[in-house]
Amino acid sequence: MKSDPLGDNLSKRERQVIEILVRRGRASAREIEQDLPDAPTYSAVRSILRLLVDRGVLVKSHEDGRDWFSLHVSPQKARLSALSRMVTRFFDNSVGDAAVALLGQRNVKLSEEEAQKLYKLIEEARKS
pLDDT tens column, 80-103: 887 888 898 899 999 889 989 988
Strand partners, 40: none
The CA-based dihedral angle spanning residues 112, 102, 126, 81, taken in that order and rounded to the nearest 10 degrees: 110
Rg over alpha carbons for the chain, rounded to the nearest Å, is 18
Instruction: Give the model's pLDDT for residue 4.
Output: 58
Is the pLDDT score of 5 beyond 70? no
Residues 4 and 65 in one domain: yes
Mean pLDDT of the chain: 89
Residues 62 and 106 in one domain: no
Count up the domains in the chain and report the number: 2
Residues 76 and 103 in one domain: no
- Closest alpha carbon to 57 in 10, 2, 25, 3: 10
Task: Kindly state the average pLDDT of the residues 107-117.
Answer: 90
Residues 110 and 128 in one domain: yes
Instruction: Give the model's pLDDT for residue 61.
Output: 96
pTM of the model: 0.68
Residues 7 and 68 in one domain: yes
Range of the domain at 68: 1-90
Could you give the CA distance from residue 89 to residue 85 in angstroms, rounded to a whole number? 6
Residues 50 and 105 in one domain: no
Range name among 38-52, 56-70, 71-85 with the lowest pLDDT average: 71-85
Residues 5 and 64 in one domain: yes
Residues 65 and 29 in one domain: yes
Residues 107 and 58 in one domain: no
Residues 102 and 66 in one domain: no
Instruction: Give the model's pLDDT for residue 10.
Output: 84
Coil/strand/helix, residue 37:
coil
Residues 105 and 74 in one domain: no
Residues 74 and 111 in one domain: no
